[in-house]
Amino acid sequence: MKNNQKYTGLEIAIIGVACRLPGAGNWREYWNNLVNGTSSIQVLTDQELLAAGVDEKTIRQPNFVKAKASLKGKELFDAAFFDYLPGEARLMNPVHRIFHECVWEALEDAGYNPEQMNELISLYAGAGDDLNWRISALQQNQQQDIDNFTLDLISSKEHLTTLISYKLNLKGPSLFVNTACSTSLTAVNMACKSLLLGEANMALAGGVTIGTQQRDGYLHQEGMIFSSDGHCRAFDKDASGTVNSEGAGVVLLKRLSDALNDGDQIYAVIKGTALNNDGNRKVGYTAPSVEGQAACIRTAHKFARVEPDSISYIETHGTGTRLGDPIEIEALNIAFNRNKAHRCAIGSVKSNIGHSDNTAGIAGLIKAALSLKYKTIPPSLDYKTPNPGIDFENGPFYVNTSLQSWERSGDAPLRAGVSSFGIGGTNAHAILEEAPEADPGDAGRPYKLLTLSARTEAALGRYADLLKNFLQQEPATDPANLAYTLQAGRKHFTYRKAVLYKDTEELLALLESGKLKEQVTKSKDNANAVVFLFSGQGSQYAGMGKDLYEAEPVFREYLDKGFAIVQTLTGEDFKNIVFNDTTGRINETKFAQPVIFLLEYALAQLLLSWGIVPQQMIGHSIGEYVAACISGIFSFEDALKIVVQRGALMNSLPGGTMLSVPLKEEEARIYLDENIFLAAVNGPEQVVFSGETPAIEALKARLDEADISHITLHTSHAFHSGMQDPILEAFREVLASVTFGKMQLPFISNLTGKEITAAEATTPAYWVRHLRETVRFSDGVKTLLALKEDWTFLEVGAGQSLVALLKQQPARVRPVAFNLLRPAKEKENDLKYLTVRIGQLWQQGLTFDWKGYYRFEKRNRISLPTYAFEKVSYPAEVNPFDNDLVRELYALDPQPQQAAAAQVEEQPVVPVKRAERPDLPTSYIPPATNAEERLKGIFERFFGIDDIGVEDDFFELGGDSLKGMVLLKRIKNEFNVELSLKDFFGMQTIRQIGANIDELNLLPVSEQVITRKTITI
């Protein structure tokens, strides 16, 4: 059934979701807990409390509540992923750690990588104050492991959003929000406004609350917010409050029109939001207000342009307090005009997870969005009998206590409201609507390419398991959208694995086999240094590229265009010759050369449309015309005219023979005479002779006598020999009739074996000599390898003859080379063959334009498991208040900060396991001097990395200017010297620094007998 959805143009789509909440590490686990009616509030036994350090006297107090709602794994953080040092991560506030990962997960869930986007992404979020952590961090940092400025950045909540914006390259507005309990829904309101005002293309909004004091039960106080029994019984007569909780949540938002155009997944649509404050319309600052809440909800209705009776569910603030619950329902009754004819369910997620403070609003919003997505209303827990102070009789509301299928009324869309009210009176309300029906898209290519990547091989293996589990739960996942999302919507890391599949069933079988964890490739840093290799005559065969022609529109477009031009020039149907002829006409020179040019040019254009642009090109004989055309020397039409005439002229000559022989060029020259010519030097010990057939037959006999092997090539004529002399003048006239263009891309000359100059490439004489003289392919490859050893070579044509020649070259670095179109003997589907090569190239590190790759498909981003972060443990729960002095100071001054920290005993440092040596451009070189040995220890302790070598660069290890200041201070303390930052960029290794120290013969303080000196590093 179609929805009767009418849009105002002010709608905002929720396209990405991430959360960490009690009992749930992601939104799928959260939703599963909600629909199963799971309470994530843990009831503690006496044994658990005693083991946690709660004294028996406290446990036995009658008002002690044995319950807590905590976040599992809050001590875990992948610091290296976000380029933090272990020492920084240890002192970083857990709200920062958790929120870094949540923001990344929300972006991945939506299928966006901010590092590859030009669009502006804004971030609005808040977190609770945490004096406990800040004091502990000051204590832990008494040895100045990091500078105080950096410590403030990573331990104070105010830097939460801007620090993440810096780390993730978010270039839209970045604002910290704090309205107490309504913070995160307030952040959503601000994010929506940012989008509507055009300040950003996408916006992240959310909140985080992490308790850094050990939470194992609490003392109930009558009249306060926390309940007497460890349950949040929202709206029930036995309600006595809520349970303190923690967690984080983020949503990624986008204007609905943009989300629909971009094929984004949409969880739900935000029709409108509203904010206000109670003012003094209440009994006290911390009390709620009927008038304030009702006005906020009505404003949201008005902005969304919806009638209250079109809303059938409200995710309430629902704290379970005796004062708050009745006021909230009274405000809702007013906002809904006390319409008893309407029925509207209400619920409170606090009954599941407790009150997560700054995160509460976003937790409710995510619950409502998922309810709309799945058209299901989860039960609100621990409700049995209504609070007698709540006026349920004179309004539309009822507490939903069971899992309920959410049905539309006619064709009207489902709608929900979400409330979040903060201490201090900031009220926030949002109106949500179910998402419009998504365009399912098309089936796409028959062969899909899965691309998995991670920063470490272990993380890639973990992600493969996550994907396997996901597909087991979601077997109907669209296989093409899955591939598209991972390719176009995720960052591509160093360790990579690509695999071909046709459908989800096949992919799941591969995942279950464990094969995706095998033979993981570490990508190259400079894989985009691509060379196109264009093969020459002899590579052609009937039916080559036929599957690509049928499957790839760009390839088909250029072939069809070329076939039409060639038919005009020759009157021949070249398409039929290539794909359907079985008489062997494709091997005649007049057909072979235009066909080879066309196929290679079309394949090159396909690669260019996918973002693969060569830095160099080299062709073999006729293949050089493709390079020249791609470079801009010839237009497509002129190049075809030349190639057709070239082939026809050659075809008009008497037949001849060509012979491939494993000889060095100087060895081959002794066999040359007026009838035998050196047609090509293809390798260090690979040449081709060319000439009249009787002369070549005589040469074979001589080679046999010398026990030298040889292979007769399948050619009709003796190319690049004196037999071509009769056509040279006619060919010169053909070249004189075309207009040469400006060279845009460099390529290597067959004639010289060097980079061609513009003057050479635009002269008819060059191309005449090119037809007649020796193909110096081997010299051309040597030139390329002299320019750069680690090219990525792509044979853009049928077969792999040039890849084979390339591998004959002696090289210090084994060349990475792939052919893209199958040889004649391999009976494989062309598209499958090419897609496998595309996967291999991606594994090597080649960058693709995935939008170009999917240009002719209708693809959608979908929600998939997010990155498998490394689970490195850092302190999360600390207790700096373990002596009388701190407790006294804290009682007098709620923010003692450094004054208190300076007078307390240093807290024990929780050891953090060092990381293994990372992949660096330098090899490990051990220290050779005493100074280098001590510097190595300083570097390793500072970076938290083992096996740092004396030639490893400070910046390659993850250093920056701020970290440099701290490191210099440690070096100064170790060697008792005054160090400056001058010339630091020129001396960035242990060896360079150690050389300065050794030169001045400086010793540590314990051995110092000379006066203090200043050195510059």
Q: Is 539 a catalytic residue?
A: no
| Among 156, 621, 721, 749, the one annotated catalytic | 621
Q: Is 492 a catalytic residue?
A: no
Q: Is 355 a catalytic residue?
A: yes
Cβ contact 230:220 at 8 Å: no
* 67: its two tokens: 């319950």
- Each as own residue / partner, the long-range contacts of residues 920-928 (CB below 8 Å, 24 or more positions apart, any chain) are 920/952, 920/953, 920/956, 920/957, 921/525, 921/953, 921/956, 922/949, 922/951, 922/952, 922/953, 922/956, 923/949, 923/951, 924/949, 924/952, 925/949, 925/950, 925/951, 925/991, 926/950, 927/990, 927/994
In which residue are the tokens 């994907």 written? 467
| Among 100, 220, 355, 620, the one annotated catalytic | 355
Q: Write the CA distances from 904 to 149, 156, 167, 889, 896, integer angstroms.
A: 21, 20, 34, 11, 12
Q: Which of 215, 223, 221, 252 is nearest to 357 (CA)?
A: 215
* 236: its two tokens: 């029930």
Q: Write the CA distances from 289 to 224, 227, 332, integer angstroms.
A: 17, 21, 12
Cβ contact 249:367 at 8 Å: no
For residue 394, the one-letter residue type is N
**Other Cβ atoms closer than 10 A to 6:** 8
Q: Which of 13, 21, 25 is nearest to 865 (CA)?
A: 25
Q: Which residues of 719-732 are buried (b: 16+ CB within 10 A; e: fewer)?
A: bbbbbbeebeeebe
Q: Which of 631, 607, 635 is nearest to 619 (CA)?
A: 631
For residue 856, the one-letter residue type is F
Residue 83: phi and psi, rounded to 5, are 65, 40
Q: Which residues partner with 678 through β-bridges?
A: 689
Tell me the three-class secondary structure of 8-68, residue by residue. CCCCEEEEEEEEEECCECCHHHHHHHHHCCCCCCEECCHHHHHHCCCCHHHHCCCCEECEE
* 57: its two tokens: 């006297």
| Among 19, 181, 232, 629, the one annotated catalytic | 181
| Cα-based torsion angle of the residue sequence 442, 444, 449, 454 in order, rounded to the nearest 10 degrees | -30
Helices (H), 159-289: 160-168, 183-196, 256-261
Cβ contact 432:271 at 8 Å: yes
Q: Which of 234, 318, 223, 242 is nearest to 65 (CA)?
A: 242
Q: Write the CA distances from 121 to 55, 65, 195, 696, integer angstroms.
A: 49, 43, 9, 70
Q: Is the dihedral of CA 810, 814, 819, 824 positive or negative?
A: positive
| Among 100, 231, 317, 492, the one annotated catalytic | 317
- H or E element in which residue 93 lies: none
- Contacts of 44 by beta carbon, 8 Å cutoff, 6+ apart: 52, 66, 67, 68, 216, 217
Helices (H), 845-929: 850-853, 884-892, 897-901
- H or E element in which residue 682 lies: strand 676-683
Q: Is 714 a catalytic residue?
A: no
Q: Which residues partner with 174 through β-bridges?
A: 123
Catalytically active residues are 181, 317, 355, 621
